[in-house]
Chain A
Amino acid sequence: MTVEISTVAKVAKLSRIKVDDETLPELARDFNAILGFIEQLREVDVTKIEPMVSVSPMTLKIRDDSVNDGDKQRQILVNAPDTREGFFAVPKVVE
């Protein structure tokens, strides 16, 4: 199976990564090398084998249903590139 340049452009879009048109062919080559490598998984007989969910068998712990954290507006915003009046600021969103 070969991945087309248009597929790579679509995946870049889904990944929210801007890729210039001139880099697409090189990226498609890398994609095909990697996908060619993982293609061999198809030959493995996995009849009656469940996909792994957790590598070590465990039951998730349940904690008390109570508030144990919060009031951290300053800490949450302190690393943001742009904030206004206690909120994250982003470019205008027009749908």
Chain B
Amino acid sequence: MSELNKLTVSEARELLRKKQITSQEITKACLAEIESASVLNAFVCSTADIALDRAKAADKRIEKGDAPSMCGIPIGIKDLFCTKGITTQAASRILQGFKPEYESTVTQNLQDDGVVMLGKLNMDEFAMGSSNENSCYGNVINPWRCRHDARLLTPGGSSGGSAAAVSASLCLAAIGTDTGGSIRQPASFTGITGIKPTYGRCSRWGIVAFASSLDQAGPMTKSVRDAAIMLESMCGHDPKDSTSHDLPVPNFESALTNDIRGKTVGIPIEYRTEGMPEEIEEQWARGRQILKDNGAKIKDISLPHTKYALPVYYVIAPAEASSNLSRYDGVRYGYRAVLNEMDGISEMYEKTRAEGFGAEVKRRVMIGTYVLSAGFYDAYYNQARRVRSLIKKDFFDVFDQGVDAILTPTTPSAAFEIGQMSTVDPVQMYLNDIFTVTVNLAGLPGISVPIGTNSQGLPLGLQLIGHPWEEGALLNFAYVLEQEAGFSGQPTKWW
């Protein structure tokens, strides 16, 4: 069988169970693809030996008939997840050479189910960015290009390596993390599916922290069914993360019934922004029509505090980051600057952090320090936390009016060119997350599903937002969209 790397998780599961292929065969196919796709710069480290060992073990398990859905599936892991004995750098120089002595709960859960780790994936440094251009490993390249145009595009960020790797079929699926849109925006830019579950669904233990009240892990996959299968394997209560909820893990896959009759889908008027390309508007209308044709009621809704979501985010996320990133001091792990004989401990901290952090990380740490400093704490940080309460209330008000899910575009544009944002002020880049960031602030689940392509042939995604802890119902809405949208997108191989 050729091109095993192009299989979806559910197709591979079927073939593995029927013993028509082995995990070792799929794993080898993926490793060969990774090798030939180095120009995309998606994988920063390949763990071929570990992958083949785990594939062999998975094949034995499948042989015995004791195989969970994810058993034997080769995936890629964002560099933000601690993986025991394997370099984990969060794409930052400051974690140079760091090899964790422990495994993150999410990757452990996957490993327990027999998942095969192919290697670590590139990302924006400490998950800060929307284009994967802030990485100590260099830019990730989007496998998609405009028609008749060889210019290189960004895959979005911060989970840009995960998105590019899945889109280019270097792995069957990948894990990402999402603090303000870092799973959904790159999924949209690369024509794949990505879900950020409810805050507290996946354990954050062993994930390098960026903004702890917003960070969540989630799957990035080639289909909605794959997202359901993989999310179930990743999530679950973990005593090591006090914000992880003690709720049973539902069978998400069984929620994919294609039946959304009588459900209400809200269309928020505030998500129609100035200057949004008409093609995105059209795809959004198409999504509405698909859900309507499948028996859902469409309702115009208002989420009045939407315009304040990004400003709130750019207070809260940097504030939490400045606190979380204070641990990188050159003492316990990673990089330490070369010091002069006269340098004391303060010089060690200051030089280490100046040389170890990239520009965007420094900017956010300093903004965070500023908004938390005496005299500004109330005006910025507490004010942002109050407005955050209002943003969350907006969502719960419409849920109380009987809205089951909310449909929006995932991003205000398709993938943009590498370097395009380098000359503008940082706020322009932040606007990429305008539709996704509200979901993190409210702790809700959100999913991006590919809906079609624009006139240049680039993928566009729609976002669905659901009730807390109802990822199953949310995935089902996404499933309906996916089935009807008929997006069979794969980038034409040029690398």
**CB within 8 Å of B: which residues of A?**
3, 7-8, 11-19, 27, 29-31, 33-35, 37-42, 44, 46, 49-56, 58, 60-61, 63, 72, 75-76, 78-82, 88, 90-94
Contacts and interface: CB of A to CB of B under 8 A. Distances in A.
Contact of A16 (B332, B349, B468): B349
A91 B344 contact: yes
A56 B200 contact: yes
B369 A90 contact: no
Contacts, number: 171
Given A38-B384, A41-B387, A91-B339, A17 B199 contact: no
Given A30-B426, A38-B314, A11 B213 contact: no
Interface residues of B, number: 75
18 contacts: A16-B353, A19-B354, A31-B367, A34-B426, A37-B314, A42-B379, A46-B386, A52-B392, A53-B385, A54-B213, A55-B213, A55-B442, A56-B198, A56-B200, A58-B245, A81-B333, A81-B335, A90-B348
A75 B362 contact: no
A60 B102 CA distance: 24
B427 interface: yes
Interface string B296-315: 00000000010110111011
Contacts of A93: 344-345
Interface SS of B by simple majority: helix
A7 to B, nearest CB: 8
A28 to B, nearest CB: 11
A49 B385 CA distance: 9
Nearest to A50: B389
A79 B345 CA distance: 19
Contact of B425 (A30, A41, A60, A90): A30
Interface string B88-113: 00000000011111100000000000
A22 to B, nearest CB: 13
B389 A52 contact: yes
Contacts of B347: 18, 91
A37 B311 contact: yes
Contacts of B326: 16
B62 to A, nearest CB: 33
A58 B200 contact: yes
B46 interface: no
A75 B310 CA distance: 40
Given A44-B308, A55-B392, A91 B101 contact: no
A54 B392 CA distance: 11
A60 B246 CA distance: 11
Nearest to B315: A38
Interface in B375-393: 379-380, 382-390, 392
A75 B333 CA distance: 11
B57 interface: no
Contact of A17 (B315, B345, B362, B387): B362
Given A61-B239, A90-B348, A34 B388 contact: no
B242 A61 contact: yes
Nearest to B98: A79
Given A17-B357, A56-B443, A80 B390 contact: no
B3 interface: no
B366 interface: yes
A41 B382 CA distance: 11
Of A37, A50, A54, chain B has the most CB atoms within 10 Å of the CB of A37
B388 A52 contact: yes
Nearest to A93: B345
Contacts of A16: 326, 329, 346, 349-350, 353
Contacts of B99: 78-79
A31 B239 CA distance: 39
A42 B305 CA distance: 13
B363 A41 contact: no
Interface in B231-271: 239, 242-243, 245-246
Nearest to B246: A61
Of A17, A54, A72, A88, chain B has the most CB atoms within 10 Å of the CB of A17
Contacts of A81: 330-331, 333-336
A44 B351 CA distance: 40
Given A38-B314, A38-B371, A44-B390, 12 more contacts: A16-B353, A17-B365, A41-B384, A46-B387, A49-B389, A56-B245, A56-B443, A58-B245, A72-B101, A79-B97, A79-B100, A82-B336
Contacts of A14: 369, 373
A58 B468 CA distance: 13
B322 interface: yes
B343 interface: yes
Interface string B452-475: 000000000000000010000000
